[in-house]
Amino acid sequence: MAAILTACGETTAPPPAPEPAVPVRVVSVAPVSGVTLLDVAGTVRLKRETSLAFNTPGRIAAILVREGDKVQAGQLLARLDTTALGANQASATAEVVRAQADVKRAEDLFAKGWVTAPRVEQARATMVAAQARVRAAGFDVTLAFLRAPAAGVVLARPVEPGQIAQPGQAILTIGEMNQGFVMRLPLADRDAARVRQGQPATVHIPALGAEMLQGQVSEVGARGDDGTGTFRIELKLPADKRLASGQIGTARLTLGPAEPGAPISVPATAVFAARADEGFVYMLEPVTRRVRRRQVALGTVSDAGVVVTAGLKPGDQVVTTGIDRLREGQVIEVAPNSVPAGRQAGK
């Protein structure tokens, strides 16, 4: 009877209440891709702008052109005072005469058996070296006269007659007109990777008024600038007499989709516990409706979101709201106005 009474007095514990689902929003991540328009400021330049310099130091005797002058191919533009160069050439020529005499004398003595063959070979080597110095001196005299490499216009004249020029110092800069004008644009690496040679671009140069020019990508830089990290893009511009080197304008480029394997982007609210270039997100398991922590590598941050370089793949669903109320394995309820799968976060 005591056992029966004891059994009747026990109460059965009720089953635990189901864990309430936390309402959140999720997004389906996608690559940083899609066709976008990019406006970039750039500078108009002649395709080929050549700096001309002398090969040897010397006093500038004359500069025969000024900035803005039109020049023809082969036209004499500037010259050095060749007094010292002429003296060097004369000295080198005299050395050749002396070396030739030494060779003849050595050969005569060798024929009589008075000197050895190495003595003759040495004299001949000395003569060859003297002849080389004559050619070098003549080359220096030739480069003491600067001539236009092609028809063009004088863009810069940084020195004046009477100054002492150093080897390689720019004396004149010539823009070759037959190569046409280009616009040079600095692009970030992620944008430069989406530019293709030959694609069209719309160019606006305020100096030409409201008219829009149609350009074409003619060159995509293969190496970024060490100082800025940008890549140089060149647009070939149509022939227009109003164009001038140094004009500033804006080009509109249409950027195509990113290459396969491109980084993906998530809203900034999806990332938590970020430190340096790493952070965490909560991923949704669609079947169990539970979330799991996932460590990710972070890239650049912009208004459109955070670039994730590793840890996620296109199609993964991440939570963007209520992060502070979640924990590993938490059951969630997806809000009906979440971003549908396939739509890029931040777009």
Tokens in use for 86? 């002429």
What one-character DSSP code corresponds to residue 178?
A: G
**Structural domains in the chain, sorted by start:** 22-32+262-334 (2.40.420.20), 36-49+182-255 (2.40.30.170), 83-143 (1.10.287.470)
Enumerate the H helices of 112-166 as residue ranges.
117-142
Q: What share of the chain is helix, strand, coil (3-state, %, to 5)?
A: 25, 35, 40
Mean pLDDT of residues grouped by 10 in the chain (347 residues)? 51 58 79 71 93 92 94 94 88 93 92 90 94 90 91 94 93 92 91 88 92 92 88 93 93 73 75 85 86 84 76 82 83 67 39
| pLDDT score of 14 | 58
Token duo for residue 135 = 């050619």
Phi first, then psi: give them for residue 264, nearest 5 degrees: -110, 165
Strand partners, 182: 45, 236
Cα gap 166→147, rounded to integer Å: 18
Per-residue confidence (pLDDT) for residue 33, from 0 to 100: 56
Query: For residues 186 and 176, is the Cβ–Cβ distance under 8 A?
Result: no
- Say how far apart CA 40 and CA 157 lie, in whole Å: 30
- Among residues 255, 254, 252, 253, the alpha carbon closest in space to that of 204 is found at 252
Q: What is the pLDDT of residue 29?
A: 76
Q: What is the pLDDT of residue 72?
A: 94
The SS3 of residue 10 is: coil
Of the candidates 267, 345, 347, 261, which has an alpha carbon nearest to the alpha carbon of residue 309?
A: 261
Closest CA to 257 of 41, 29, 30, 28: 30
| Residue in the structure block whose two tokens are 């189901």 | 18
Q: What is the CA radius of gyration of the chain?
A: 38
CB 157 within 8 A of CB 67: yes
Q: Tokens 């996932």 appear where? A: 294
pLDDT at 312: 83
Instruction: State residue 15's pLDDT score.
Output: 58
- pLDDT, position 16: 55
Residue-level pLDDT at 132: 94
